[in-house]
Amino acid sequence: MRRVALAAVLLLAACAGRQNVLNPVSPGNRQVNTLFWWMLGVGAAVWALVIVAFLWASLRARRRTREDLEVPVEPVPPEANRRATRIVGGLVALTAIILLVFLIYDFTVGRALAAHPSRALTIEIIGHQWWWEVRYLDPDPQRIVVDANELHLPAGDTVQVKLLSRDVIHSFWVPNIIGKRDLIPGYVSSIFLSPDRPGVYRAQCAEFCGHEHAKMALPVVVHPRDGFSQWLQRARTPAAAPADSLALAGRTVFLAGSCSSCHAITGEPAYASLGPDLTHLASRRTLAAGTLVNTPGNLAGWIVDPQAVKPGALMPANALAPRDLRALLAYLETLK
């Protein structure tokens, strides 16, 4: 119960700045943010000058009646024409200079962002319709952690993220930490994340990917450095067999029923990879890719009728007997 309350508070309290370009929490994004404010400031000034010049030029000596249109149109005196040519030429040159300065500024920021520092860890993120698979890679295959719909990062370290897609194009974007990179089938691309302020942020798919593009979010948890190693250590532990009988019955429902045809649980004979890995389902903050707060009630609703939450989602409805559902929920609650 406390965990639920905490999750709800986190969701609500942090919402203002946790999916926001203007609240950068990585060195790279702080540079982008400065670039943005400069471009905005200079751009706004240019805009204001153009509008004022237009208003002044057209209202300075305006005509009011239709008959005024009948006056013959005189040629412009050569002196006025020359002066106008000089002013317009000067303005065009000024425009070019402003653009050139921004171009160079942008290149320097781009260069800084493209630097590839040494990294502590490589994470693979695979886009699916409409959820995220997250794999914490390790040279030792036994130590690879497979997770879904939540990304954990250490603060103050650089993490390499490899991006792949299993179906259509998705786009990975954590506004506070890093700009977009598309997940394109047939391509593996690599980006570097260096968040430096712990907190919970929110990412959301940024390339239209079909029906539930709107509900394909990814909570991003940035831990203090020690907290992250502890989390990773915990995540490496496979699921333990449940102790109480209800949960044991739920395990049977999971393995014998339809759940295990799509979902995997490390440590159990459930290996399917069509849906998210559920080894640590109970410790996640959200369900259905950042759509629902992870409460038993929401989980039950999601299992029984996913289409009510995400119409078009690939998970079918599961008409479980109430007893089975209760058992299944008890079992899933043990998957910390």
Q: Does 87 bind another protein (CB under 8 A)?
A: yes
Q: Which of 1, 2, 5, 58 binds another protein (CB under 8 A)?
A: 58
Q: Which lies closer to another protein via its Cβ, residue 20 or residue 295? A: 20
Cβ pair 25, 222 in contact under 8 A: yes
Binders in 148-177 for another protein, by CB under 8 A = 167-169, 171, 173, 175
- The answer, yes or no, to whether the previous bond of 47 is cis (omega within 30 of 0) is no
Enumerate residues 6+ apart whose C-beta is below 8 A from 232.
136, 145, 152
CA distance 20 to 32: 13
User: Using the rule CB under 8 A, which residue among 70, 79, 140, 226 binds another protein?
Assistant: 70
Partners of 132 in the β-ladder: 127
Residues 103-142 that bind another protein (CB under 8 A): 103, 106-107, 109-110, 113-114, 129
- In angstroms, what is the minimal distance from the CB of 6 to another protein? 14
Instruction: Tell which residue, 279, 287, 173, 157, has the closest CA to residue 226.
Output: 157
Closest CB to another protein among 36 and 257? 36
Residue with tokens 């929401």: 298
User: Least separation, in Å, of the C-beta of 243 and another protein?
Assistant: 35
| 97 is a site residue for another protein (CB under 8 A) | no
Q: Which residues pair with 292 in a beta bridge?
A: 287
Tell me if 279 contacts another protein by CB under 8 A.
Answer: no
Is residue 40 a contact residue for another protein (CB under 8 A)? Answer: yes
Contact (Cβ atoms closer than 8 angstroms) between residue 290 and residue 302: no
Q: Which is nearer to another protein, 127 or 154 (CB)?
A: 127
Cβ nearer to another protein, comparing 43 with 297: 43
| CA 269/CA 227 separation, integer angstroms | 30
Considering only 291, 299, 302, 325, the residue that binds another protein (CB under 8 A) is: 291
